[in-house]
Copies of this chain bind each other. A is one copy, B any other.
Amino acid sequence: MSPDAAQRSVLRAADELFYAHGISGVVMSDIRDASGVSMRRLYGMYPSKSELVAAWLTDRHDTWMAWFAASVERHVSGGADPVLATFDAIAEWVTTPGYRGCAFINSLAETSEIDETHSTIIAAHKRDLVEHLAQLAARDHPNAPSWFPAALAVIIDGVIVQCTIFASTDPLDAARSAVHQLLETTST
């Protein structure tokens, strides 16, 4: 297996396993078994589980943001408002089989597995999301209040969490109504 293929295989295995079972629910030999990369090579690539977790979070940030941006654009090009399209994207996600909430929020909750490096990646992910939401809002709602993107980010994280807890999209629908109302009463 080429170094690149091994790298990819490990990150794919890490994503599937860490997301599904949590960090402390996955042992290094699970990663070996799922990726087909031997212990020796695994530890050659990442000198510790903690560094593998950091690489996973970084990779997941890129992947998730790209998916989210693309999904939103798809709904926008179908005629949706850019802000409300974020709810269409999240709706797709939370109804995906195997959905288990936000990997970053979940990881941060596993205190004993997380160090400052990880928290930094997690905070950067959420900062990038707020940034992206601000750009979406600016497109069609230039007069929205300055607090709007941060509030939208709060609402989206709340939706992600509550759809997990209740195993339902009801929280998403309520949140969408609220944001619809905010848009109607604040912007252009």
Contacts and interface: CB of A to CB of B under 8 A. Distances in A.
Interface of A: 20-22, 24-25, 100-101, 104-113, 122-123, 126-127, 145, 147-148, 150-151, 153-159, 161-162, 164-166, 170-171, 173-175, 177-178, 181-182, 184-186
Contact of A147 (B157, B159, B178): B178
A50 B103 CA distance: 24
Contact of A154 (B150, B171, B186): B171
Nearest to A168: B123
A165 B22 contact: no
A106 to B, nearest CB: 4
A111 B105 CA distance: 13
A174 B162 contact: no
B154 A162 contact: yes
Contacts of A186: 181
Nearest to A108: B165
B22 A112 contact: yes
A110 B22 contact: yes
Nearest to A180: B147
A156 B153 contact: no
Given A145-B177, A147-B177, A185-B181, A111 B21 contact: yes
A168 to B, nearest CB: 10
Given A101-B109, A110-B110, 11 more contacts: A24-B113, A109-B110, A126-B166, A147-B173, A147-B178, A150-B175, A154-B162, A158-B161, A161-B161, A181-B182, A182-B182
Contacts of A182: 178, 181-182
